[in-house]
Amino acid sequence: MSHGKFGTAINCMDGRTQEPVSKWLKEKYQLDFVDTITEPGIDKIVCDCTPDKIESIKSRVLISVKKHGSKIIAIVGHYDCAGNPVSEEEHLIQIKKAIAIVRRWNLPAEVIGLWVNENWKVELI
């Protein structure tokens, strides 16, 4: 097990989201580190993708939870997503579906949803 307190962000690859999400998780959950699993438009990928792609994401989350002891997993969607160019309302629907999917993995971690708005501020869903 690694030293320090870890969390996990299942986040879009968009670099504009990385810092605000990491900072928010560190402050909210008193974390030292945030493992970041990225794909373009990941909220849509988790709820609508192929089993192989989901298994790839899950295997990376398992490393964070089992090897780093992560106790919080955040599914992130954001404003102006090039990989998933849908409305905020559609993103929120996808994030909620993705939360349900990740919760079914029965990992020993809390699963939450985050939205990064047009001002690059993080909102808990």
Residues 6+ apart with CB under 8 A from 96: 113, 125
Contact call for residues 81 and 44 (beta carbons, < 8 A) = no
Per-residue pLDDT, 49:
74
Q: Is the pTM of this model over 0.85?
A: yes
What's the pLDDT score for residue 1?
55
Residue 100's pLDDT is 96
Report the alpha-carbon angle 25-50-109, nearest 5.
30
Domain 6-124: CATH superfamily is: Carbonic anhydrase (3.40.1050.10)
CA-nearest of 7, 79, 10 to 42 is 10
Average confidence (pLDDT) per 10 residues, the chain, 125 residues: 88 96 98 97 89 93 97 98 96 97 97 98 97
- In whole angstroms, give the CA distance from residue 123 to residue 121: 7
Q: What pLDDT is recorded for position 51?
A: 85
Per-residue confidence (pLDDT) for residue 2, from 0 to 100: 60
Q: Which of 125, 91, 121 is nearest to 20 (CA)?
A: 121
Q: Domain-by-domain residue ranges, the chain?
A: 6-124
Cα-Cα-Cα-Cα torsion 94, 121, 125, 74, nearest 10 degrees, comes to 70
